[in-house]
Amino acid sequence: MNTYLMETRRLTKVYRNNGSEVHALQGIDLAVKSGEMVAVMGPSGCGKSTLLHLLGGLDSPTTGEVHINGRRIDTMSEAQRAVLRRKEVGFVFQAFNLIGNLSVGDNIELPALVAGTSGRQSHQRLDALLKDLGISDKSENIPAQLSGGEKQRVALARALVNQPAILLADEPTGNLDSQSAFEVLRLLRQTHNQGQTILIVTHDPNVASIAQRVVFMKDGRIINETVLQERNDTKTLLVELLDMEGA
Amino acid sequence: MKNLFLALLAQEPTHGYDLLQKYESMFSSVLPPLNAGQIYTTLARMERDGLVQKSTVVQENRPDKRVYELTDRGHQHLRTWFDEVLTGPRIKDNFYLKLMGAKLSGVVAPSVLIENQRREYMQTLHDLNVLTLEPELIENPNKLVLIQGAMLHLRADLEWLDLCEDAFVEGA
C-alpha cells in the first residue's frame, strides 16, 4: 500500500435514478506512484469523471476502496473528507470555478488561509505561484478581466497553493482555444517536472499524451494502458518526426 | 532544398558559405543538417539550369568571393512554387491496406493493429509535447507552429483510428 500515493481497489459506482441503475464504474484498480503523471482517457460517459470525483473524495464509491497518501478515504466522514481535500488534493476543472468577485490573488490565497496557513507564508506561496505560472501582473484583476487561458492558470495556482499530494485535473483544456490549451499543457508538464503527482482525466489524446502513462477507459472499465517513453535526443527527434523534404 | 535556397537568394545575393550559415540559423532544428559539398552541388545545378548566376568579387589580400544571384528565371521558378497550392488530404492509406489485409488473411486481429498504432501515435504526440518545452521553441513561434501542426494531424489520425475500430472490430 505504501508504495503508491493513490490506489483504488475494485472500485464501483452505481447511480440509481427512478428505479433504473447506471453502472458508472465497474471495478477499477488503479495505482499512482508519487511523482507520477497519469492520464485516464476515454469517451464521454465512460466513467472517468466519476473516477476523479471518487479519487478526490468529492463522492463515495458504491463498493471498493480508495487510498490516498496511506489513508483510506472511502470510509471517512464528510467532515474528514473535507479536511483531506483541502490538504492533500488540488482540483482543476474545465469550468475554472473561480470566485468572480475576488481578485486573482485572493482566489489563489483563499484555500491556504482556510487551511490555516499564516498570512505571511500564504503570501510567499502566492508570489511564487504567480511567477511560475506567468500571471504576476494579473494579481489585482478579477476573473472576468482574464482570458480563458489566464483563468485556468489561476485555477492551477489555486489548486497548488496548499502543496497537495496529488493534483486532479478534469478536462483542463476543455474550454480553451488551441493556443491557450497549449500553454496550460505546458504548465502542467512544468508542474510535473517540479515533482508534483498529477492525474488528468480527458477525452483528448493530446492532453493525455503529456502524461507518462495513459490508462484507457470504456463503459466503466479500464480496457488498456500504455507507458510513454522519454526520448533524450530531442533535436534529432524533431528532424526525424517532421520528416521534412525541404521542398 | 532548391526552393529554400532560391528564397534565401531572393533576399539578397550571397556566397555559398553565407547560405549555409543562414540555412543553419533558420532551419537547424527542423531540417537535416547540410554540408558545404551539398550546398555547392545544389548551387552548381541551379546555375546549370539558369536559375542563378555567379559573379566573382575580387577581394584584396583574400581569395576571390563567388557571389550567387537569382536570375529572372530563378525568380519565376520561385513564383511558380508559391503559386502551387498543396492538393489532397494526407491519407494514411498504408495503414488502411494493413487493416484490410489483417481482416482478409486472419493472420492478425485488426484490433491488435489498431491498438499498436494508437500506442505509436500517443508516443509521438508525447514526444512532440516534450519538445514544446525546449527553450529554443518557446522563443521561436515560427518553429513551434510546425510542431503544433504535426500535433493536430496526429489528433486527427487518432480520431480516425477510433472510426477504424468501429468499422473493423466487432463489439467495439
Radius of gyration over every alpha carbon of chain A, rounded to an integer in angstroms: 19
CA distance to partner chain A, nearest, from residue B167 (Å):
17
CATH code for B2-83?
A: 1.10.10.10
Asked if A35 contacts A195 with a C-beta cutoff of 8 angstroms, the reply is: yes
Output the CA angle A138-A142-A146, nearest 5 degrees: 60
Average pLDDT for residues B31-35, to the nearest whole number? 80
Of B3, B81, B125, the CB nearest to A206: B125
Residue B79 above 70 pLDDT?
yes
Return the bridge partners of A7, or none: A31, A67
Distance between CA atoms of residues B67 and B38, nearest Å: 17
The answer to whether A223 faces chain B, any CB pair under 8 Å, is no
Flag whether A24 is in a domain.
yes
CA distance to partner chain B, nearest, from residue A33 (Å):
20
User: Who's near A232: CB < 8 A, 6+ residues apart?
Assistant: none
Domain that holds residue A214: 6-242
Residue B9 above 70 pLDDT?
yes
Nearest CA to A242 out of B75, B80, B146, B110 is that of B146
Most confident of A196-200, B55-59, B123-127: A196-200
Asked if A105 contacts A83 with a C-beta cutoff of 8 angstroms, the reply is: no
Asked if A129 contacts A109 with a C-beta cutoff of 8 angstroms, the reply is: no
With beta carbons under 8 A apart, name residues in chain A contacting B125.
Answer: 205-206, 209
Determine which of A115-124, A145-154, B29-38, B106-115 has the lowest per-residue pLDDT on average: B29-38
Give me the interface pTM, i.e. the ipTM. Answer: 0.83
**All three cell numbers of A189:** 508538464
Flag whether A247 is in a domain.
no
Average pLDDT for residues B155-163, to the nearest whole number? 92
CA distance to partner chain A, nearest, from residue B101 (Å):
24
With beta carbons under 8 A apart, name residues in chain B contacting A208.
Answer: 122
Residue of B nearest to A185 (CA): B129
Task: Report pLDDT for A1.
Answer: 44
B126·A244 Cβ contact <8 A: no
* Enclosing H/E stretch for A147: none
Task: Report pLDDT for A247.
Answer: 40
The total number of residues shown for chain A amounts to 247
**Amino acid making up residue B139:** E
Task: Report pLDDT for A244.
Answer: 59
Task: Report pLDDT for A242.
Answer: 62
- What is the percent of chain B where pLDDT is above 90? 37
- Residue ranges per domain, chain B? 2-83, 93-168
CA distance to partner chain A, nearest, from residue B105 (Å):
25
Handedness of CA A151, A194, A115, A6 (dihedral sign): positive
A231·B127 Cβ contact <8 A: yes
Flag whether A1 is in a domain.
no
Most confident of A196-205, B31-40, B102-111: A196-205
A205·B158 Cβ contact <8 A: yes
The answer to whether B130 faces chain A, any CB pair under 8 Å, is yes
Flag whether A229 is in a domain.
yes
* Enclosing H/E stretch for B142: helix B141-168
Angle at which helices A148-160 and A119-132 pack, to 10 degrees? 140
Task: Report pLDDT for A245.
Answer: 52
The answer to whether A243 faces chain B, any CB pair under 8 Å, is no
Q: How far is CA B149 from CA A55, A118, A132, B152, in A?
A: 35, 46, 27, 5
Query: Of A29 and B39, which is predicted with more confidence?
Result: A29
Distance between CA atoms of residues A87 and A79, nearest Å: 13
Series of mean pLDDT values for 10-residue runs along chain A (247 residues): 84 92 96 97 94 95 95 94 92 95 96 91 93 93 96 96 96 92 92 96 95 96 94 72 55
Of A178, A210, A235, the CB nearest to B29: A235
Task: Report pLDDT for A160.
Answer: 96
Strand order across the A71-72 sheet: A20-32, A6-17, A63-68, A71-72
Q: Tally the domains of chain A.
A: 1
A238·B130 Cβ contact <8 A: no
Return the bridge partners of A214, or none: A39, A226
Nearest CA to A182 out of B135, B138, B161 is that of B138
The answer to whether A230 faces chain B, any CB pair under 8 Å, is yes
Flag whether A116 is in a domain.
yes
User: Who's near A222: CB < 8 A, 6+ residues apart?
Assistant: A28, A29, A30, A215, A216
Q: Phi/psi class of residue A120: alpha, beta or left (left: φ > 0; alpha: ψ in -120 to 50)?
A: alpha
**Amino acid making up residue A163:** Q
DSSP secondary structure, B62-127, as one string? SPPEEEEEE-HHHHHHHHHHHHPPP-S----HHHHHHHHHHHHH-SS-HHHHHHHHHHHHHHHHHH
A205·B154 Cβ contact <8 A: yes
The answer to whether A227 faces chain B, any CB pair under 8 Å, is no
Beta strands in chain A (DSSP E): 6-17, 20-32, 37-41, 63-68, 71-72, 89-93, 166-170, 197-202, 213-218, 221-227
Flag whether A119 is in a domain.
yes
Residue of B nearest to A179 (CA): B148
CA distance to partner chain B, nearest, from residue A228 (Å):
6
The answer to whether A124 faces chain B, any CB pair under 8 Å, is no
With beta carbons under 8 A apart, name residues in chain B contacting A209.
Answer: 122, 125-126, 129
The answer to whether A209 faces chain B, any CB pair under 8 Å, is yes
Count Cβ atoms below 10 Å from residue A203 Cβ, excluding itself.
15
Of B124, B132, B134, the CB nearest to A241: B124
CATH (domain of A165)? 3.40.50.300
- A-proximal residues of B, 95-124, CB under 8 Å: 115, 118-119, 121-124
Residue of A nearest to B150 (CA): A242
Flag whether A22 is in a domain.
yes
Q: How far is CA A108 from CA A97, A112, A136, A153, in A?
A: 12, 8, 12, 10
Residue B169 above 50 pLDDT?
yes
End-to-end CA distance of chain A: 56
Question: Most A CBs within 10 Å: which of B130, B145, B169, as the mutation test of the A interface?
Answer: B130
Residue B92 binned pLDDT confidence (cut-offs 50, 70, 90): low
Distance between CA atoms of residues A180 and A173, nearest Å: 8
Q: What are phi and psi of B121, to 5 degrees?
A: -65, -40
